[in-house]
Amino acid sequence: MYIVEAENIVKKLKDKVILNNLTLRVPKGSIYVLAGPNGSGKTTSMRVILGLIKRDSGYLRVLGLDPESREWNIAKSRIGYLPEDAQPYERLTGLEHIVFYARLYSQSIEDYSGMVEKALKIAGLPYQILNSKVTTYSRGMKRRLLLSITLMHNPELALLDEPTSGLDVVSSYRIKEVIREMRGNGTTFIIATHDLKEAEKIADRVGFIAKGSIIAEGTVREILETFNAESLEEAYVKVVGDEF
Amino acid sequence: MLEMNSSKAIKTILWKEILDLSRDYKTLAAVIILPLISLPSLALITSVLYVSQRSSILIIVEDQDFAIDAITLKDIIVEKGRALKLELTVNVNTNKTIDYKYSLVQADVVAIIPRGFKHNITMLDGQAIVKVSRLVGSPASDIAYNALQWALYDLSVSIVNERIRRLAEYANISIKPEALRNPILIETGYHLASGVQARVEEATVAFTARILQFSLFFVVYPAVVFMSDAILGERERRTIEKLLVSPLSRRDLLAGKMLASMILGIIAALADSLALLLFFILAGEILMLSVHVLIAWIISVIALIALTSAITSIVSSRSETTRSAQILSFAILSIAMIIYFASLLVDLTKVPAWASTILQLIPFTHASLAIYRVSTGDILLAVIHLLILYSSIILLVLLAVREFNSERLLLFRG
């Protein structure tokens, strides 16, 4: 069963083709890594899947719904999204972020308490830090805070755009740990990254994206076997050749 | 899963926005504290400096027959200066060999009493001349000149009274000099637009209402700052994308942001208007408020802030940066500022038909006219103006919701 089904998605911006017949299927409960260099269409793919940007053509179903339909607003509470360049509110504390998003996503007081508890666990930040304004946080702390509010409501589908990019080893390791744990509890992940070594460690399935199209797709092993490569990096270079 | 409850969504956004904006101390200081301090300070410091200016008058007496009277004239001028709490120095020079150029350097105002002056004022039909020279471009010179004019007026009155007394004596009749000099007395009263006689207090309230109409001029600015920051500030600080994928509807998100901007805008407007009233009070104006005018002003302020927020939201949705949104919003809202500034000097209900038609098409006009109508007792017309104003707000808010589009916000496709 697929949680995301996209067929021949086309998106142009000012006559420039950003997504060119993008087709991908994400199985439920998997970690799907969308791998490709900067400018390959990873972020736009995610934004189209989330209904933030309208597609020009193509078939798209996410959680069984068209993101451009009226019913989509209801489905948004089943999704978590961590944009690549997302930042927390500088004048709020970490705890205030958690409270704010828990209020937005919860339907009852029990929901709310559960979300706050979950976010505190994922963020893994000391209480003293959580009570400080985020201006005092390191990049890794900010990213963990944002990940915690992305996943606090146990989304069925989580889209993470470069979740570990530029982070220290510890922060990066903890984030991957959280992703694996939540995948075990049934959350499906789509992770966009340009770091193919990271993709190899975490992915159930990998989709190579270049110029707005999926050019190769499968499990890590399938891709390595298909392209007779030692690593995803080598496989990617073999697929795209010298185009990039 | 259920769709998020609208009122809970708006309250949550409102909570976050107020928390966030209330910690933006620099902006708050700029739009709330600064006007509250600067406007009254402006009036206070200006008035203190005004009366502390040292101005001087030199009276050159060429007519030696007037030499003794010149001392009396000097005393009158000094007395007038004291009454006005001015730092005024008056000197009299009866020296026949005076250097005129040097004299002009010495004083802000030089008054020359020419030969024959005493003779002319003593004659029944004589006309005496005082030659006055004022220092160019000096407010201190204006002060000195006013005091001199006031003293010379008093001198003229006493000369005329003496002439009337002499004439009456020649004619052997009894005359009241005051009645002869001022055959027409003006007794002024007031009336409302309805034709009902008004008291002096009601006239004062109407004057205060005009200042309140003018105060709308200051209401627009904070709302533009807060609303543009609430939309484009979020984009620039990379916080908006997470909000756009939350279960909030676009309408609720915008409503929460508009409400937050309105609350802070109203606080800023109250501070600005209070500062403006203090400015006029410190400048010596007598002001008085009625409950009706105050209510009309509050309703108009809320409407104006909502209108400004809606316009700024539309502009922000189509702008690349907060700065460009603020510049464009101010350009559009300068129309409002022109109307509110004009309302201090112009009766907007008495302009020609073509101008009135144009003004009535601009929603901002109705905020000013609502306050005016209430101050003149036309409650029904005030209600009509407010209805037109609130209808415009509904239309613009609907347009703002339509324009508040995630793709436009993320990719800026103005």
Q: Mind listing the pLDDT tens digit for each residue in A11-64?
A: 998 889 999 999 999 999 999 999 988 889 999 999 999 999 999 999 999 999
Contacts of A92 in chain B (CB under 8 A): 16, 19-20, 23
Q: Outline which parts of chain B fall under CATH 3.40.190.
A: 53-187
Q: What is the mean pLDDT of each run of 10 residues along chain B (414 residues)?
A: 75 92 86 84 86 90 92 92 87 79 82 93 92 91 92 93 92 90 91 85 89 85 88 90 91 92 86 86 84 91 92 92 92 90 89 94 93 90 95 95 89 64
Residue B28 pLDDT = 85
- Please tell me the distance in Å from A226's CA to the nearest CA on chain B: 37
Contacts of B239 in chain A (CB under 8 A): 86-89
B15 touches chain A (CB under 8 A): yes
For A93, the token pair is 């504390």
Which pLDDT band holds residue A144 (cuts at 50, 70, 90)? very high
Which pLDDT band holds residue A110 (cuts at 50, 70, 90)? very high
Residue A135 pLDDT = 94
Residue B22 pLDDT = 86
- Overall fold of domain A2-240: Rossmann fold (3.40.50)
**Is B178 exposed, middle or buried (CB count within 10 Å of its CB: 0-12, 13-18, 19+)?**
exposed
Cβ-based neighbour number of residue B123 at 10 Å: 12
Contacts of A163 in chain B (CB under 8 A): none
Residue B81 pLDDT = 87
Residue B331 pLDDT = 92
Spatial CA neighbour of B63 closest among B4, B122, B133: B122
| Domain formed by B53-187, architecture | 3-Layer(aba) Sandwich (3.40)
B26 touches chain A (CB under 8 A): no
Residues A105-127, mean pLDDT to the nearest whole number? 94
Spatial CA neighbour of B48 closest among B89, B90, B85: B85
A31-35 and A188-193: which strand pairing? parallel
- Please tell me the distance in Å from B237's CA to the nearest CA on chain A: 7
Q: Give the N- to C-terminal CA distance of chain B in Å, as an integer.
A: 35
B408 touches chain A (CB under 8 A): no
Residue B413 pLDDT = 54
B199 touches chain A (CB under 8 A): no
Given a cut of 60, is residue A243 above it in pLDDT?
A: no
Helix (H, G, I), strand (E, B) or coil at B5: coil
**ipTM reported for the complex surpasses 0.85:** yes
Helix (H, G, I), strand (E, B) or coil at A27: strand
Residue A65 pLDDT = 95
A89 touches chain B (CB under 8 A): yes
